[in-house]
Structure 1
Amino acid sequence: MSDLDVDVVVIGAGPVGENVADRAHQQGLSAAIVEDRLVGGECSYYACIPSKALLRPVDLLAATQRVPGVEAGPIDVAKVLERRDGFANPDDSGQADWLSGAGITLLRGHGRLAGERAVEVTHHDGTTTSVAARYVVVATGSVPAFPPVDGLDTVNAWTNQEATQVKEIPESLLILGGGVVGVEMATAYRRLGAQVTLVQHGDRLLPTTEPEAGRRVQAALEADGVDVRLSTSMTAVRRDGDDVVAALGDGSEVRGAELLVAAGRRPATSDLGVDTVGLEPGTHLEVDDATTVLGDWLYAVGDASTGAQLTHMGKYQARICGDVIVARSRGQELGGRYSHHATTAEHTAVPQVIFTDPQVASVGHTEASAGRAGLSVRAVSYEIGNVAGAALQADGYDGVAMLVVDTDRGVIVGATFVGQDVADMVHAATIAVVGEVPLERLWHAVPSFPTMSEVWLRLLETYGL
């Protein structure tokens, strides 16, 4: 006998899991959600929200310095951290109350699959709850990956959790990894007063973006005083007094008061009981366009799945997952909503914003990834600073916009914007990519003057329309 019988049980109460449970419950299904840590998940307390709270003040100060006649005093670090706490104080009572008010049962503890349609929850006091469910959803997210560096387990290295919840800014910081977390935290910490050294094993920062994006972010970090070390790795680390000393593959050493490991993430599926249903622990759970893993009962969304590892894409998956479960519970066909456009959104039209200065906003293919996908493409670029809206936005505006065009179909399959305040420009590109809007039609989408969106017109002109 089970202690609890529900229609849907979701393991993981981050934004993605919450969306699945709420979507299903709003359409008439009973739902429970299991969380071992904080309701609201990594994004709310240790990633998206607190990192942007740290970055916004330093970004705003830099923007004011590019407009003569506007004065801004030095950063008040204590107030920045206080404001961060207002957004991301690790107290999840409000989130838990929301679940209760929505009619969703919250089970605090570690959830594991216990065979088909069964979940066992081990609570913090050692008691257990057995849950029987028609549908089980894995939304456990991901955890930091640690590369094989000698001594790494002895120096109390930071992950994004410590970096975003810091109580005071250290005098210096070593960062291992030049991806999104690495470059964002390098931006924030340098401008909040720390000396920063960033070590990246590859030959450029942000290796999954257009090369020009990584180049411009590197130039900006170095202009701020960040010591960027490319094409080398940390081979060993040790504590020397209050500092961490890292030996690099090129024979040099670097030191800092703290070490942030930002070397990627892995799915949190190692201790999830997936082996009880024939799946491999510690791997991404393979899903189809309906987020299904096994039969009609097991689903995965967010970082634990093979979908794009971004909160907004996880929440998109969650909406699909909730609707699919409801449709199947009613014996309904899924319809075309989860076919072509879901495939496009999940695999070839993923938007992302990197909140460095300059910002990097992108969607879809890079020129390189389009080539690997076998597409015949042409890429065009235009300096954003050459449009009137950008010149008004900031003196000496430095930024670039790039489009990747499928020449066979005459549609955009990728776009990248690099520059101050470009974050909100990417959604127009996302609509163009998902909607497969022909360039001939985009020609009639007239941008407002004087805004930075005028760069769309210049890109189409550069392409030859």
Structure 2
Amino acid sequence: MSERVVIIGGGPGGYEAALVAAQLHAEVTVVDTDGLGGSAVLTDCVPSKTLIATAELMADMGGAAELGVIPTDHQGDVAAHLTVDLGMVNARVKQLAADQSADIAGRLEREGVRVVRGRGRLDGPQRVVATAADGTETTHDADAVLVATGASPRTMPTAAPDGERILTWEQVYDLTEVPEHLVVVGSGVTGAEFASAYLSLGVPVTLVSSRDQVLPGQDSDAAHVLEEVLTRRGMTLLARSRMESVVREGDTVAVRLDDGREVRGSHCVLALGSVPNTVGLGLEEAGVILEDSGFVRVDRVSRTSARGIYAAGDCTGVLMLASVAAMQGRIAMWHLLGDAVTPLDLRKVSANVFTAPEIATVGWSQLQADSGEILADTVVLPLSGNARAKMQGVHDGFVKLLCRPGTGIVVGGVVVAPRASELIHPVAIAVAESLTADQLAQAFTVYPSMSGSIAEAARRLHRV
């Protein structure tokens, strides 16, 4: 008899787990509330990166004159003579998200996965109750359950979103007109991405950051480059400024800071972090231990404290990336169903901040090397000397590699560049496979190419 697997949540952690379980001949049911793909597809990753794709085009056009491209009836900045139809952009965003969700649904159907629309909750460790929108309940017995319910934007009573002028990052896609002045509160990855995107779309942006720099959790050299670029392009950065409240006043918003200052704009995007969707799921009653913050506690093979219950994705708070959620879900099913499994290793996870320029990272960080947590040699190679960068008018960015003294094994890397999300891959392979800097350097690269700087940085780490 096949193992019965019930998955609560249809995001990357859930649907990727379902595909693995089906491949291993389990009987799989996914209980999904909002739509397959979850927030990653419907309200977060896919929508935001689709919006950013338009912003990237605008940013590229901003440098068109340097490359000899000018309007036939104007002189100067090409982008200054372009406008963005935000209603059209957001309509495309929503359509692409819906199409991606439909693709996932089709794939699950072809693989024999049963999808139940409703809000799932545990009724003990081996039973899931799904409540449909009309209140109808269905019960699904399981040999194992995977909880993949994700997380939601964090809000505050003093800064309540209204969906029109005060917005979470999930609500910006309902805008049909370009904001006159956007205030972004929060300088983490989400805040930085939206600030960069709307700035590229021609919107005046003020970024309110409670920290000393944008992207406090990222490589400080990379964050410094991004700050320089954004402020040079006209963004106002208020560092060490903590938001106290956001109030709507007609067609404007007032962002009040705890030092008495006030910032006014037409719209405000709140990027205050996330809270796990774990309330009311019957987790603790089933024996699942939650952290004080509400996240589900899991080990490196996605097991919770309750036998037969696994968890994956943002509800675990492990590392809030769609790629990590998907891997956690796969690992859970490989472990449950007896396939070969390697525990999750966060040192091998590559991540990207989709700003302009992008910031991609993998492995050990400069901060960890500086603190003595790991011994590493470091080389930083600016892109300003890269031939392809010069051709494309790219002035900002660098490649950074970290390797172990003695062995020369590559243990980390940072790329700050256009399409850094693509350029980080060879570094990620080096980290994952414990390649040496010499091995990375000796692989052929195309000339001219941005990736040539990765090989050059590796050559500079050669020790005789």
Please report the TM-score for the alignment, with normalisation by the length of structure 2: 0.89
C-alpha distance in structure 2 between counterparts of 1:409 and 1:294, whole Å? 39
Once the two structures are superposed, the pairs formed by residues 144-155 of structure 1 within 5 Å of their partners are: 144-147=153-156, 151-153=158-160
> What is the rounded CA distance, in whole Å, between the counterparts of 2:258 and 2:179 in structure 1?
25
Whether the 8 Å contact between 1:287 and 1:306 is mirrored in structure 2 is no
- Which residue matches 2:142? 133
Q: Give the Cα separation in 1 of the matches to 2:411 and 2:359.
A: 17
State the alpha-carbon separation in 2 of the partners of residues 8 and 196 from structure 1: 47
- The SS at the match of 2:424 is helix
Deviation at 1:437? 0.7
2:320 aligned to which of 300, 309, 316? 309
Corresponding residue of 1:432 = 430
Query: Equivalents in 2 of 1:143, 1:125: separation in Å?
Result: 23
> SS at the partner of 2:55?
helix
Residue of structure 2 in register with 1:35 after alignment = 32
Q: Is the 8 A contact 1:160 1:262 kept in 2?
A: yes
Q: Which residue pairs with 1:168 in the alignment?
A: 177
- For residues 420 and 326 of structure 1, the distance between their equivalents in structure 2, rounded to whole angstroms, comes to 41
Distance 2:289 2:180 in 1: 43
Deviation of the 1:288 alpha carbon: 2.2
Deviation of 1:101 after TM superposition, in Å, equals 3.4
Structure 2 partner of 1:200: 209
- Once the two structures are overlaid, the 10-residue window that deviates more, 85-94 or 405-414, is 85-94
Query: In the aligned structure 1, how far is the partner of 2:441 from the partner of 2:222?
Result: 26
Measure how far apart 1:204 and its partner are. Answer: 0.5
- Match in the other structure for 2:117: 108
Tell me, in whole angstroms, the C-alpha distance in 2 between the residues paired with 1:323 and 1:154: 41
Conserved in 1, the CA contact under 8 Å of 2:441 and 2:459?
Answer: no
Relative distance call for 1:267 and 1:372 in structure 2 (3 A) is farther
Backbone CA RMSD of aligned residues? 2.4
Output the CA distance in 1 between the equivalents of 2:135 and 2:307. 32
| TM-score with structure 1 setting the length | 0.89
The answer as to 2:253 corresponding to 1:244 is: yes
Distance 2:20 2:215 in 1: 34
Match of 1:397 among 381, 395, 405: 395
Partners of 1:448 and 1:93 lie apart in 2 by 38
Query: 2:75 maps to which residue?
Result: none
Distance 1:272 1:414 in 2: 38
Q: Distance in 1 between matches of 2:91 and 2:19?
A: 31
Quick one: which of 286, 291, 302 aligns to 1:277?
286
In structure 2, the CA distance between the partners of 1:108 and 1:459, relative to structure 1 (3 Å rule), is same
SS of the equivalent of 2:145 reads: strand
Percent of aligned pairs sharing the same letter:
29
Shift of the 280–144 alpha-carbon distance from structure 1 to 2, 3 Å rule, reads farther
Please report how far the alpha carbon of residue 356 of structure 1 lies from its aligned counterpart in structure 2 after TM superposition: 1.0
Change (3 A) 1:165 1:321: farther
Equivalent residue number for residue 74 of structure 2 = none
Give the AA of the match of 1:235.
Answer: E
1:224 aligns with: 233
SS of corresponding position for 2:426: helix
Question: Residues 408 and 45 from structure 1, CA distance in 2 versus in 1: closer, same or farther, beyond 3 angstroms?
Answer: same
The answer as to whether partners of 1:50 and 1:165 remain within 8 angstroms in 2 is: no
1:235 CA drift (Å): 1.3
Contact 1:417 1:426 survives alignment (8 Å):
yes
Residue 21 of structure 2 corresponds to residue 24 of structure 1: yes
- 1:261 equivalent in structure 2: 270
Q: Deviations over 1:356-410 (max 9, x none)?
A: 1111111122111345572112222010120212222x22522111112222542
Between Structure 1 and Structure 2, how many residues are aligned?
446
1:9 to 6, 16, 28: 6
Structure 1 position 306, deviation (Å): 4.6
Given that residues 47 and 164 in structure 1 are in contact (C-alpha distance below 8 angstroms), is that contact kept between their aligned partners in structure 2?
no
- Report the CA distance between 1:217 and its aligned residue: 1.3
Q: One-letter code of the match for 2:328?
A: Q
The 2-side partners of 1:288 and 1:83 are apart by 39
